């Protein structure tokens, strides 16, 4: 499993969570335009984190599949 892919996925999940919190705070301050932009950004971080997570799953699947035995 690639540590870099795992680390990047974790970073993106954290960025998405932080951006969602910032969007909620902007919304509470009646700054709906900023809240909307932050929500869009958080969604992009979430999608990218999901992509990295899928890569990790694929890497794990490849590493657990053993090559066929020679006959």
Predicted confidence band of residue 71 (pLDDT cuts 50, 70, 90): low
- Chain mean pLDDT for the chain: 85
Q: What is the pLDDT of residue 68?
A: 59
What's the Cα-to-Cα distance from 64 to each of 12, 26, 36, 49, 54, rounded to whole Å? Answer: 26, 45, 42, 23, 15
User: Rounded to whole angstroms, how far apart are CA atoms 11 and 45?
Assistant: 9
Find the mean pLDDT for residues 45-64. Answer: 87
Does the pTM surpass 0.75? The reply is no
- Report whether pLDDT(66) > 70: no
């Amino acid at each position: 499993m690639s540590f870099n892919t795992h680390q990047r996925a974790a970073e993106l999940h954290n960025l998405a969570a932080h951006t969602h919190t910032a969007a909620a705070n902007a919304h509470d301050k009646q700054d709906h335009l900023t809240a909307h932009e932050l929500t869009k950004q958080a969604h992009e971080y979430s999608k990218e984190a999901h992509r990295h997570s899928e890569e990790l799953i694929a890497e794990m699947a490849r590493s657990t599949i053993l090559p066929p035995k020679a006959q």
